[in-house]
Structure 1
Amino acid sequence: MRTVKEVSRLTGVSVRTLHYYDAIGLLKPAEVTEAGYRLYDDTALGRLQNILLFRELQFPLKEIKAILDSRDFDPSEALAQQIKLLELQYQHIGELISFAREIQKKGVRNMDFQVFDTKRMEDYKSEVKERWGGTREYQEYEQKQEKAGDSAEAGRRMMNIFAELGALRQLSPSDRSVQEKIIALQNFITDNYYTCTDKILGEMGKMYVDDERFKRNIDKAGGEGTAEFVKRAIEIHCAR
């Protein structure tokens, strides 16, 4: 068994990210001690390897979870699929390097943009997704994606919620109107991404402040201090 810090050192995945994976149900520890320490066995590390390989191939976390949670998930078959995709990616990168060197050598005269075509990779990705498409878990994921519609639009709507929370920064985080917005945020995440329990929401509240990218984007949407304000409001919500 390895602690979360040991897993972080072994894999290069931050402790914060491992906590987040636990919160959203993507990677649960094998055991949690009475003191609250997460412990990971070889099975959990094997799942983490699959997660990292799919992440390298640009699969979204919610899609990875739907695949790994499939009742008929076959690790050896998934590995073969991952290898095939990595080979396609490797070939594509090699072609891009050759293309760039040709430009460097002869100047920007080659107007052939076929080298940027990633259709083969995308087609094979679709095959991988379809392989697990008949499972209950993947169908749930697809239904939420269909309901969410355009992912960019969903992201903008989420930023609008942060903007609305930012406009309430002069109030106490415990104010009823603020707490209603927190509930709206939680429901939005559940409807568009994954079931957002209080535990997940609490972990996300910490990330909104600890992760500089989240903090910067949220403060940009709602004004300086919005991320910290949202975190405190979430803490109050989860403590009730």
Structure 2
Amino acid sequence: MADAGLTVGATAGRVGVTVRALHHWDEVGLVSPSLRTTAGYRLYTDADVQRLERVVAYRDLGLGLDAIRAVLDDTSTGIGAALREQRVQLAGQIDDLRLLDERLERMAEAHERGILLSDEEQAATFGPDWDARRTGQARVLWGESPQWAQFAERSASRTREQWRALAGAMSALERDLGDALDRGVVPGSPEADALVERHREVFSHFFPLTRRMQVCLGRMYESDPGFAAHYDGVRAGLASWFRRCVDASARAQGIDPDTATWQ
């Protein structure tokens, strides 16, 4: 080999890299073949291969080509110092990967559980009447929908304090709906429309709620025994009244509530 040299292909096989990598390292002046055949083909000498092996060793440690060049060519650069600098950079990457891993774990749990709070934390956050099984039931019903995915994606980064604030906003809205019903607010009136819009804005913290989706929710509040019991527990007849308010607001926006679908 010392006399004849190795072709590019043979050298690539010897050091375990691609021919393309050798061409690139040649182009950037990191390692170039020292010999040529009479036909003009480039050949790597034994010294060239030894340098390539060092390049591969430092590349596998994560050094970039400029850092490798400095280690191999600049006698003023201490190899130990260069490697320690690489360790500092690697430590930062490890921290970033650890944070990414934690975020991925929370996202996976959010898709599986919905709310990333323990049963005790949920009771403390949402009140003693809250049933922690609700999110599990919701996942069974809507776990394949885009809205569940959006709910999970937002839930993954939501803190307990943010859940508490959102629960407070929902409770305040329900109280105001009950008060409006007591005062005889008429569906379709400006005050009723404002409450409907407020409901849509608050609910959109879970996933984007269109007006047509809101119509579907209004129907469910009235027809589903669990939802009807909840809203009628706030005020008798609230579920039906709110459904009429949502329908009237939808009509004002050019939406027929009788034909509206979940979109």
Which structure is richer in relative contact order (CA contacts within 8 A, separation 6 or more)? 1
Normalized against structure 2, the TM-score is what? 0.37
Larger radius of gyration: 2
Normalized against structure 1, the TM-score is what? 0.40
